[in-house]
């Protein structure tokens, strides 16, 4: 009998989809046992062959790389959040099918690995290379396809060649756990986490546009209920924030309270976090902790709220980034429920 993980909130047991206790985690790094889990298939059974990655397709020097080969290559460490594209799906109105994630399908830590660019340059990408396809060792049957398939997705060559796109083999200075991609996974900073493929085993450069089901059916914004007009791929993280403390529908005495949370974005960096205590009539600026100075990291923020009047309050947080993007009052509805980023909202009662 499968058992739930006591550290995480269970959304599904098979395949395992578990939510991080994000409201109780402060700082810049999520401990591995509190990192959320998102799976489409069962965990793969690994063997000695799993320690090899195949590099092929439109390259001048196809190769098999062993785990020890990667350990000998130039390494890089980055503090990167991974957010499921369906994070906060439960808040969409009208409701949409899928895992009903609340705020905890996001976690962050230090990833160490080899820049993918180094490996591709060593293999020699040919001039007609357009995209890079990545295949994980996980496989199974997808609900809408009557055959066994592997989890595969692609990146544009430009994103694959970005110096911060990594093949990671460590998380928080420890080897990856099986449930987070051991022996290595892709890390694509700034993109939703479906791009950061776990249990990576094959890398293939192609000259066309990849059309696998996890690329052209799933992880696509469909803005209309019954047709595909206006569809576009899910890629860059939306600007977003979450209020961590106090918890929604808390009952508090009068006094001063520290409102705490995180804010993040996929483009540039967070420039401001504003809070409202009167349903958006007025906004005040929260204090942001920029001490980490990491280009992709979320920002921890806080605000000392003097709650000296009894009553019920709605507290909202709204983040803005240096690309000029701000959280909207209402999320962009799409029928698969991706990219929810409406202003974060909680309700409290002061007695």
Q: pTM for the complete prediction? A: 0.96
Q: Identify the bridge partners of residue 134 per DSSP, sorted by sequence position.
A: 153, 203
Structure tokens at 162: 């970005």
End-to-end Cα distance, the chain:
45
Cα–Cα separations (whole angstroms), residue 272 to 54, 257, 304: 43, 20, 16
pLDDT tens-digit series, residues 221-277: 999 999 999 999 999 999 999 999 999 999 999 999 999 999 999 988 999 999 999
- The predicted-structure confidence for 110-140, as pLDDT tens digits, reads as follows 999 999 999 999 999 999 999 999 999 999 9
Domains identified in the chain and CATH numbers: 9-218 (3.90.420.10), 240-350 (2.60.40.650)
The answer to whether 70 and 166 have CB atoms below 8 angstroms apart is: no
**Beta-carbon neighbour count of residue 156 at 10 Å?**
14
- Residue 347's SS3 state is strand
Q: Which helix (H) or strand (E) holds 312?
A: strand 311-321
What are the residues whose beta carbons fall under 8 Å from the beta carbon of 95, sequence distance 6 or more? none
Percent of the chain at pLDDT above 70? 98
What is Dmax (Cα atoms) for the chain?
Answer: 71
What would the pLDDT profile of 52-80 be if each residue is shown by its tens digit? 999 999 999 999 999 999 999 999 999 99
The span from the CA of 39 to the CA of 41, in Å, is 6
Q: How far apart are CA 47 and CA 42, in angstroms?
A: 16
């Amino acid at each position: 009998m499968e058992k739930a993980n006591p550290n995480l909130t269970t959304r599904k047991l098979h395949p395992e989809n578990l939510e991080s206790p994000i409201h109780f985690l402060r700082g810049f790094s999520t401990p591995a046992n509190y990192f959320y889990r998102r799976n489409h298939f069962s965990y793969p059974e690994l063997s000695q062959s799993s320690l090899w990655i195949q590099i092929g397709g439109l390259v001048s020097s196809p190769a098999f790389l062993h785990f020890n080969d990667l350990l000998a290559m130039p390494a890089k460490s980055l503090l990167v959040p991974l957010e499921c594209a369906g994070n906060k799906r439960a808040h969409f109105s009208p409701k949409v099918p899928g895992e009903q994630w609340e705020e905890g399908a996001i976690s962050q830590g230090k990833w160490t690995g080899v820049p993918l660019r180094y490996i591709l340059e060593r293999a020699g990408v040919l001039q007609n290379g357009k995209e890079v396809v990545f295949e994980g060792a996980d496989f199974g049957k997808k609900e809408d396809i009557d055959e066994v398939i592997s989890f595969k997705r692609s990146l544009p060559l430009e994103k694959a060649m970005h110096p911060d796109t990594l093949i990671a083999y460590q998380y928080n200075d420890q080897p990856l756990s099986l449930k987070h991609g051991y022996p290595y996974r892709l890390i694509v900073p700034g993109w939703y986490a479906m791009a950061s493929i776990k249990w990576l085993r094959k890398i293939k450069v192609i000259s066309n546009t990849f059309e696998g089901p996890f690329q052209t059916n799933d992880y696509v914004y469909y803005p209309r209920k019954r047709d595909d007009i206006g569809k576009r791929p899910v890629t860059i993280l939306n600007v977003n924030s979450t209020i961590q403390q106090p918890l929604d529908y808390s009952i508090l005495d009068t006094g001063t309270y520290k409102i705490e949370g995180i804010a993040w974005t996929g483009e540039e960096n967070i420039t401001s976090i504003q809070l409202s205590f009167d349903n958006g009539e007025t906004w005040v600026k929260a204090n942001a902790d920029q001490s980490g100075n990491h280009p992709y990291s979320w920002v921890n923020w806080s605000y000392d709220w003097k709650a000296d009047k009894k009553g019920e309050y709605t507290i909202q947080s709204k983040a803005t980034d240096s690309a000029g993007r701000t959280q909207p009052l209402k999320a962009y509805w799409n029928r698969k429920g991706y990219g929810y980023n409406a202003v974060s909202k909680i309700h409290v009662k002061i007695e």
